Amino acid sequence: MPPEDGLVAVVKRGCPTCHLVSPVLAALPGLTVWSQDDPSFPAGLDVRDDRDLDVSVGLDIETVPTLIRYAGGEETGRTVGWSRAAWRELTGVDDLGADLPEHRPGCGSRTLDPDVVDELLVRRSGHTLRSRRVEVAALEDEAEAMFDRGLTDGLPVVTPTPVRVLRMLAGTSHAADEVVAVVPPNLVEVTVEKIAVNAVMAGCRPEYLPVVLAAVAAACSETFNAHGVLATMWNAGPAILVNGPIAAEIGMNSKGNVLGQGNRANSTIGRALQLVIRNVGGGVPGGVDRATFGNPGKLGLCFAEDEAGSPWEPLSVSRGFAPGASTVTLFAAEGPVGILEQLSRTPESITRSLASTLRVVGQPKTALFFDATLLVGPEHARIYAEAGWDRARVTAALDEALLLDRADIERGAHGIEDGMPPGPEPRLPKFRPGGLVLAHAGANAGQISTILGGWVGGPAGSSPTTLEVDPWR
């Protein structure tokens, strides 16, 4: 505790400037001296031991020597290093240090030493981490240990040390022990801390954590139905589309190679969600995860919508959220299927072309079965923009173009035994109402759009689910 009145000096033996000012310290009455590394230094003074650095942290010491004056229990001034004029002004001793140089810079406080910073973070964070500790032998490779314990997705993970987890937790204001969701398939409660652990393992930065938290909450909702997406033999897995200012804040990619490698936020946020499902929920391939093939996106698929270049309002706005809101939209997605369309110059023609490929989602002879997400590339979107077609009109036109003649899709039609059962309706829509989601993304060059086929839609399957990110900051 600082004195009510008087001077406090913080020093360390390993600092030449602290040795320089030792005679000056001895000449100051009523001085309290704290030493960061040796309580016998300076010799001849009543020195207090601060090797645990608690006092230095409490006093916010970054440089030694630091001299602080207190009056009435409040700090009234401080100086760092040695400056004859500054020390004389602070102490009121006019001839202080007359035989010393005019100025000498101080040294870095031990609180800033790289080997000390992490220890202090753990000690003073105020968090008591509750996650189970995994002991790794001194000669055991940490990366291999994670593989051996079944904690990875097949790729190496970052070891979630207490320091790294605490740094990750700094990315949110929520308490570490707050329950975010119940994770299928084992229906285990997952806390902010557990999600932070897996975000560390995935390679996330702390500023990504609110997006990860929102994604976990959305994935574990009844509408998204992560258990169903996990247990199906179909190829799909969770995909995350991010809207709003948060995407730019954390440097997400919405343009070239948007579904590919190379962007840390895109790559690690989706991976963090998948690790939570695996490590907390128990969703392991060969267990409840029964995918016949799966798809590479099940390592983690996350991207941002290109709002700045879009001819339409953001997807989040079309789903009822306010402009400027940061959101995640979770939807089931299999591997991307590209649509190369280079000759259409009218919205009617491009719509028919896109619809012809959308027809194959799941199987060309299925209707009202799977959902899909269509990522409209900038060059295709430009055709719609120039014609004044908004998102709703494009969606309606695609739905109209995807009305399938029952005669073409019934079982046995065209020599294919699979298909829809007989029924009275002459035409059936490919997708249920709301089952086709449009978003804008991709590089400006290339007359290409991309389909992310989904899974069974609606109450019997999975529906796109959007949540705000800001409540998780």
Residue 95 sits in a domain whose CATH number is: 3.40.30.10
Distances (CA, A) of 111 to 11, 50, 63: 12, 11, 9
Residue 126's pLDDT band (cuts 50, 70, 90)? low
Q: Which amino acid does the sequence have at 323?
A: P
Q: Do 70 and 169 belong to one domain?
A: no
Kindly state the DSSP code that residue 142 receives in the 8-state scheme: H
d(CA 133, CA 417): 55
Report the phi/psi class of residue 44: left, alpha or beta, with left for phi > 0 and alpha for psi in -120 to 50: left
Note down the domain range covering 267. Answer: 144-472
Number of folded domains in the chain? 2
**Percent of the chain surpassing pLDDT 70:** 99
Q: Do 227 and 91 belong to one domain?
A: no
Q: Are 151 and 157 in contact (CB under 8 A)?
A: yes
Residue 327's pLDDT band (cuts 50, 70, 90)? very high
pLDDT, position 23: 96
Q: Do 33 and 64 belong to one domain?
A: yes
Q: Is pLDDT at 115 greater than 90 in this prediction?
A: no
Q: Do 231 and 314 belong to one domain?
A: yes
Q: Do 160 and 272 belong to one domain?
A: yes
> Quick one: average pLDDT of 216-244?
97
Over residues 4-50, the pLDDT tens digits come to 789 999 999 999 999 999 999 999 988 999 999 999 999 999 999 99
pLDDT, position 129: 83
Q: Which amino acid does the sequence have at 459?
A: P
Q: Cβ neighbours of residue 248 under 8 Å, at least 6 residues apart?
A: none
Looking from the CA of 266 toward its CB, the CA atoms found within 13 Å total 20
Question: 427: which strand partners?
Answer: 405
Q: Do 102 and 155 belong to one domain?
A: no
Q: Do 27 and 80 belong to one domain?
A: yes
The DSSP element (H or E) to which 133 belongs, if any, is: none
Q: Are 331 and 464 in contact (CB under 8 A)?
A: yes
- Tell me whether residue 62 is in a domain: yes
Q: Is pLDDT at 1 greater than 80 in this prediction?
A: no
Reading the block at residue 265, the tokens are 């936020």
Q: Do 307 and 433 belong to one domain?
A: yes
The DSSP element (H or E) to which 79 belongs, if any, is: strand 74-80
Q: Are 411 and 418 in contact (CB under 8 A)?
A: yes
d(CA 257, CA 421): 40
Reading the block at residue 142, the tokens are 């940490």
What burial class does residue 237 get, using C-beta atoms within 10 Å of its C-beta: 0-12 exposed, 13-18 middle, 19+ buried?
A: buried
- Tell me whether residue 22 is in a domain: yes
pLDDT, position 68: 98
Q: Is pLDDT at 133 greater than 90 in this prediction?
A: no
- Tell me whether residue 139 is in a domain: no
Q: Cβ neighbours of residue 249 under 8 Å, at least 6 residues apart?
A: 207
Q: Do 83 and 186 belong to one domain?
A: no
Kindly state the DSSP code that residue 345 receives in the 8-state scheme: -
Lowest mean per-residue pLDDT among 121-125, 262-266, 300-304, 453-457: 121-125
Q: Do 74 and 182 belong to one domain?
A: no
The DSSP element (H or E) to which 116 belongs, if any, is: helix 114-124
Q: Do 80 and 115 belong to one domain?
A: yes
